[in-house]
């Protein structure tokens, strides 16, 4: 059974940093493309960043220059490095990955940024 296991969330002060990880388990196939979404209380789930199989990563405007999405194909893991965090970044962050043409979601990890 394929699972995406997220880690790295927590409480941080404004201006601080966190790194989220999303590791695929239960499969011998590699992550093709990966993405991070976030959902704040009472709001819809929004796309934050994507990393394709080939080519450049893309970011929503509000995180450009602060967040970096990356991948480790050996560890079959996608990361989200978040710097210069702001209170408005507070949300549950979800990873999404395509593995062998199937779409998978992580369980979500809470990120809280205090002012």
Whether the predicted pLDDT of 37 surpasses 90: yes
Confidence of residue 77 (pLDDT cuts 50, 70, 90): very high
Average confidence (pLDDT) over 59-74: 97
Q: Which of 20, 17, 29 is nearest to 102 (CA)?
A: 29
Confidence of residue 55 (pLDDT cuts 50, 70, 90): confident
- Structure-token match 């790194």, residue found: 19
pLDDT of residue 25: 95
pLDDT of residue 62: 97
Distance (Å, rounded) from C-alpha 25 to C-alpha 4? 6
Would you say 110 and 92 are in contact if contact means Cβ atoms under 8 Å apart? yes
Whether the predicted pLDDT of 104 surpasses 90: yes
Would you say 33 and 102 are in contact if contact means Cβ atoms under 8 Å apart? no
Distance (Å, rounded) from C-alpha 47 to C-alpha 59? 8
pLDDT of residue 86: 98
pLDDT of residue 110: 98
């Amino acid at each position: 059974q394929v699972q995406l296991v997220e880690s790295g969330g927590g409480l941080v002060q404004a201006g601080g940093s966190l790194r989220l990880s999303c590791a695929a388990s239960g499969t011998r196939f590699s992550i093709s493309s990966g993405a991070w979404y976030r959902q704040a209380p009472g709001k819809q789930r929004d796309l934050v960043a994507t990393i394709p199989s080939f080519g450049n990563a893309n970011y929503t405007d509000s995180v450009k220059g602060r967040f970096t999405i990356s991948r480790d194909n050996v560890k079959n893991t996608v990361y989200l490095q978040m710097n210069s965090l702001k209170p408005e970044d507070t949300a549950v962050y979800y990873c999404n990955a395509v593995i062998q043409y199937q779409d998978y979601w992580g369980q979500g990890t809470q990120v809280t940024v205090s002012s």
